[in-house]
A and B are shown apart, each in its own frame.
Chain A
Amino acid sequence: MNLEEYKGVYVFAEQVDNKLSGIAFELLGKAKDLAADLDAEVAAVLIGSDVIGLADELAAYGADKVIVVDDPQLKEYRTEPYAHALASVINEYKPEIMLVGATAIGRDLGPRVSARVATGLTADCTQLEIGDFPLNPVPGKEQKHNQLLMTRPAFGGNTIATIACPDNRPQMATVRPGVMQKIEKIEGAKANVIEYNPGFVPNDKYVEIMDIVKSVSETVDIMDAKILVSGGRGVGSPENFAMLEELAAALGGEVSCSRAVVDNGWKPKDLQVGQTGKTVRPQVYFAIGISGAIQHVAGMEESDLIIAINKDESAPIFDVADYGIVGDLNKIVPELTKQIKAAVAAK
C-alpha cells in the first residue's frame, strides 16, 4: 500500500428517505478542520437513489467535492450494496481519511467496508485531530506526522483512548452524532459533483427487504433541543413525567430520560440520553431524579449547564452538575415551573 497516494478527507453523507442526516453536516464541519491542517480537500460521498439533488446542500456545509453513487439498488439502506458502493469509492478515489457517522447505518456499514478495504476502523470517536504517532518520539522508531489521532471512550465511558492507524489507508473512524459542530451554512456554495457508479449485481449477499415499519413518533429529536428536562428512575412513575413536561414547556425545551425510564417502559427509546441512547449537548440540561450512572453521564456531560435535582446527596450526577440541589423533586419541580411561567409572563 503506497500511503502517499491517499489524499483528501472524505465523509459518508448519510441520507435516509432522501433527506440528509444531521451527522453528514457535523462530519463535514470536522472534515474542514482536518483538511485545513493537511492542506487537503473535503469530499462527501453521497450514496442512494435519486439523491444527486442533495449535493448543493453538502456544498453549503463545506464539501469541496461530492462523489455521488446513484442507483435504484441503493434506495433503502442495505448493507451489501452500500458497502460495495463505499468500498468502490475508496478504492477508486483513495481518501486519506474516511469519516462515517456512528449511527445505526454507519455502525453497520463502517466495519464491513473497513474489512473489505483492509484498514483499521476506530469506533464512536468523540475527538479527531491531526498529530504525530507515536505522540512522542521513540528512539529507533519512526515518528509519523500528519496522522489522524482518534479519541474515543471505552469501558462504558470510564476510560478514553487515542488511536492511530499509521500503516493503512484510509484512516477510518465512526463519529458519534452530536459531538462535532457543523459550520455556518454558506449560501449558494457549489461543489465539484462527480457521478460514479461501480455497477451493482445483486447476489446472495443482497438481503431482501420484506417490510419497513416506521415507529410512529411525535417526539422531536432531543439532539436538537436547546433545553432538556431529563428524568430518571427517581421521577417515580410515568404519570409524574407530566411535571417535567410542564417545566420543559415553560422553558421552551424538551423532555428526555435515562435508560432506567426506557427499561421501565415509561418513555420511548428515542428520548433516551446516554451511551446506549443519544449524545446530547444542550445549553441547559436538567437531570431530575437521575442518579448519574457513568453510561448516562457519557451522553450528557458536554451540556453547557447542568442542573441536577436529586434527593440522594451521594448521587454521582452531582459530580458533573454545575448546580446540584439535594431535595424533593415533587415539591421543587412544580414550584419552579410556576415561577418560571410567572417570570416569562411578566416580560
Chain B
Amino acid sequence: MKIVVCVKQVPDTKGGVQFNPDGTLNRAAMLAIMNPDDKAGLEAALRLKDQYGAEVTVVTMGLPKAADVLREALAMGADKAILVTDRVLGGADTWATSSTIAAAIRNLEYDLIITGRQAIDGDTAQVGPQISEHLDIPVISYAQDIKIDGDSVIVQRQFEDRYHVLKAKMPCLITALSELNEPRYMTPGGIFDACDAEITTWGRADLKDLDDANIGLAGSPTKIAKASDKVRKGAGEKVVLDPEEAVSYLMGKLTEKHIV
C-alpha cells in the first residue's frame, strides 16, 4: 500500500502571534512547527504502515525552509519526502495550493492520501477536500478512526452530534483530526538517518497537468482586500474584592442590567 501524507509548516500560535511594525505577521519571530492535524495524519499513516505494511511519502509545499517538517516526518518513520517549492507558486490561496499539490501527487503512486483537517494558520479546512476533487477521488473528512478492509478504507467521520462509519474504495483521501491519535516521537536513529536522507525537491517544471492560470498569487481566485490586527472589545471594569464584596458588586450589576 502506498500512502501520501500532506503536511504543512506553520507558525506556532500557541504562545500568541508576533507582528511586524507594518502589521504583517512576523513569521521569523515565531517557532515553525508541523501543523498538528497533519502530524496526526502522519501518525495515522505510520500506524497503518506498522499494521499492514505501507510506503509512506510526505509532501509539503512551501519555502525551502519547509524541508524541516519533512525531516521531522522522516525521523518519525516516513519513507520518502517531497518538497514542492518555487517562487511562482507563492501567494497561493486554497484553490491554487490544492491544484498545485494535486499536480505533485499525480507524479506519485498512491492508494491513500491523508491530510490534516486544517492548518492552524489559515484555518480553512479546504485544501484536503479540494485535492480530492482535483484528483477525482472520494474524500472522507474529519476522520477519528481509520481501518483498512481489502481495497477499501473504513473511517469514522466525526460530525457535531454523531459519527458516520463510512467505507470508501481506494484511492481515497482522508482528512485527519488532531484528536485521531497521539503522534509518536522521532527516534534518535530516525533523527540521525533523517539528517542524511534525500529530500526530493520539485519546482514548477516538475509538475505536469497544471495550468499556469491556476498557480501562485495570480492564479488564486480569492484576493486579500485588507488584513489587520483584530480589534478587540476593550477591557471593562476590573475589581479585586474579597468574596463578600465581589458578590454584592456582581448582584448590583446583574440587577442594574435587569438580568436578575
A contact set with B: CB distance below 8 Å: 76, 79-80, 83, 103-105, 107-108, 110-112, 114-116, 118-124, 133-135, 149, 153-168, 204-215, 217, 227, 251, 270, 275, 283-284, 294, 297, 301, 305-307, 309, 313, 318-328, 331-332, 335-336, 339-340, 343-344
Name the prevailing secondary structure of the A interface residues: mixed
Contacts A158-B229, A210-B167 hold; do A123 and B240 have CB atoms under 8 A apart?
no
Contacts of A153 in B (CB 8 A): 123, 230
- For window 60-119 of chain B, which residues contact chain A by CB distance below 8 Å? 93-95, 98
CB distance from A139 to the nearest CB of B (A): 17
Please tell me if B239 contacts chain A, counting CB pairs below 8 Å.
yes
Q: Which of A207, A251, A294, A343 contacts B16 (CB 8 A)?
A: A294
Contacts of A162 in B (CB 8 A): 224-227
Determine whether the beta carbon of A135 is less than 8 Å from that of B259: no
Determine whether the beta carbon of B142 is less than 8 Å from that of A108: yes
Determine whether the beta carbon of A320 is less than 8 Å from that of B232: yes
Q: Which of B120, B138, B244 contacts A79 (CB 8 A)?
A: B138
Determine whether the beta carbon of B235 is less than 8 Å from that of A343: no
Determine whether the beta carbon of A114 is less than 8 Å from that of B257: no
Q: Would you give the 0/1 interface string for B220-244, flagging 1 where the beta carbon is closer than 8 Å to chain A?
A: 1111111111101111111111111
Across chains A and B, which 9 residue pairs bring their CB atoms closest together, nearest first? A120-B221, A120-B222, A115-B133, A322-B236, A331-B243, A123-B124, A324-B238, A111-B129, A111-B126
Please tell me if B208 contacts chain A, counting CB pairs below 8 Å.
no
Please tell me if B165 contacts chain A, counting CB pairs below 8 Å.
yes
Determine whether the beta carbon of A336 is less than 8 Å from that of B225: no
Determine whether the beta carbon of B233 is less than 8 Å from that of A284: no
Please tell me if B17 contacts chain A, counting CB pairs below 8 Å.
yes
Q: Which of A108, A156, A205, A319 contacts B129 (CB 8 A)?
A: A108
Q: Which of B124, B127, B234, B260 contacts A124 (CB 8 A)?
A: B124
CB distance from A223 to the nearest CB of B (A): 11
Determine whether the beta carbon of A164 is less than 8 Å from that of B222: yes
